[in-house]
Amino acid sequence: MTMDERENQLAFAVSGDRQREHDRLQTLQKLGLLDNSSVPIFEEATQTVAHYLQVPICILGIVDRQVEWLKAAFGLSRLGLMNDLAAQRSIPLQHSLSRQIVETRKKWLIADLANHEELSQNFLYQEYGIHAYLGIPLLLSEGECIGALAVLDLEPHRFTSQEISYLEMTARWSLSEFERAHILKIPSNQTGLVGVSTAPQNSSSQEFTTHSSRPAPAMASKNKLLNQLSQELRTPLTSVLGMAKMLNTETYGPLTPKQKEYMTIIYNSGQNLLSLINQILELAVLDDLAPPLKIKPVDVEMLCQQATSHLETLASDQNQQIRLSIEPGVRIWHVDKVLVQQILYHLIASVMEGAAEESIIRLHASHREDQLYFSIWISHPWLGEGLPNLDEVKYWFKQKELRDSKQSVTSPDVSSSGPESAAYDSVKSDGFTDVSSPLETLEEKRETSSSFKTKMQFLRLELSFNLAQLHGGHLEIQGKNAASYRYIVRLQEYS
């Protein structure tokens, strides 16, 4: 890489960091969190944590440009009557330990600030005698880190895994409750929820037809209700998951092997259900598919990690893995973040639906000129590489291609041919297979199939295909033989 290329890459990275921080602060402004006023649900969280973990101080801080606002705090009086920290309910950014948590999006454990040369100069140690710190990132449902829930001790403290788990559970619960309450307060057209458009409508647009680009009022109301019910489901489910995890760590006493097995099943099943609920909430944002796209500079690695994070638990349950690789070069891409995340999420989930146990689902991202490329395929220790249900996938793409061009086609006789059937030997340069053998359509095959996973695989594939088109791109398959086939998502980068 030349010096100019390195400088350009650094400039892109700095620009992306500034844009992300600008977006994060805008989100905080919309949520009304940029001041030192207290939030009841956060106050309840800090009190509960302090009592349960038997720590003297618990705070919930929101990181602003120059200061960390303490939206909730318990035990600050232990630092002295009328101390500045309790009176101002804020910490200067240069002394904020939450700042690093926001930057790294990871928890931070400090057993004793006195043992760290730099941290021992922090005013929390110098002026208030704080020795130990444990902070957990506060992550919004869209993935933005806004601050930290933290416990502080006046003595050195080695935090246990049980204490960390409880703090993580409380952080998720309190922020989920706050987001739900915020959504209930404001009109739906100011949130990610689908609502009735307030724009003027002419007489023709008020008729409910399949050609309407926006949902009719009844449809919008249904979507809004569905979204709200999903939010309501997520809150108690988060509590169930937290308590199941706590019980499984045997904090309240030992479990029998059978009880531990059942608690693991409850927790894993709850994680899968939470993932499905999150999918519903994220899909609701896409109900209004009209332009313009929301183009922002995005770190490609973080984008891919966020797209796959909810699938990690499901992959583990199915004895599968997800591996990410990024081609060296420009890391900041200008895309619609939500749209691209949905494309990758559902395409990877589609692959997982058809993949065998012990499969590794691979995602590779690359950049060529003004085109972005994502390649997705699987590798297996003894089944090799490629795509699951390859014959049906090939035929699906052929059907999609001809259906879009308003031509009729008959299906290949998959049942009488192997994976390398002559019907699939000819693959065009655009990734589609030239097929001419007759059989029923793939839709009919879905109806006769007993496999729910197969149906889900192609529903997710179809959604990813359509979302890629919305981003000015295309989804296709490419390969010369079974082991070389890949899904290729090609997207237009916007500047």
pLDDT per position in the chain (495 positions), as tens? 555 545 444 444 444 578 888 889 988 998 889 887 878 889 888 988 998 899 999 999 999 999 999 999 999 888 876 688 888 889 999 999 999 999 999 999 999 999 999 999 999 999 999 999 999 999 987 788 999 999 999 999 999 998 998 899 899 888 888 887 776 554 433 333 322 233 333 433 333 333 334 445 555 665 666 666 666 676 677 778 778 877 888 877 888 988 888 888 888 788 777 777 766 766 665 555 445 788 888 888 888 988 888 788 778 878 899 999 999 887 888 888 888 988 999 999 999 988 989 999 999 999 888 889 999 999 999 888 999 889 999 988 888 877 766 544 444 444 433 433 333 333 333 333 333 332 334 444 444 443 566 777 888 888 899 889 888 899 999 998 888 899 999 998 876
If one counts every other C-beta atom within 10 angstroms of the C-beta of residue 371, the result is 12
Asked if 111 contacts 157 with a C-beta cutoff of 8 angstroms, the reply is yes
> Where would I find the H helices in 355-438?
390-404
CA distance 190 to 180: 14
Range 6-159 has CATH code 3.30.450.40: yes
0.75 surpassed by pTM: no
Length of the chain: 495
pLDDT at 364: 95
Instruction: Give me 119's structure tokens.
Output: 């941290």
Q: In angstroms, what CA-CA distances link 294 with 252, 289, 298, 339, 386?
A: 48, 11, 11, 9, 33
**Nearest Cα to Cα of residue 22 among 296, 432, 258:** 296
pLDDT at 92: 93
Tell the burial category of 281 from Cβ atoms under 10 Å away from its Cβ (0-12, 13-18, 19+): buried
Domain range list for the chain: 6-159, 186-195+215-285, 295-492
CATH topology of domain 295-492: Heat Shock Protein 90 (3.30.565)
The string of DSSP codes covering 86-127 is HHH-EEEGGG-SHHHHHHH-S-EEES-GGGSTTGGGSHHHHT
pLDDT at 221: 61
CA distance 345 to 139: 19
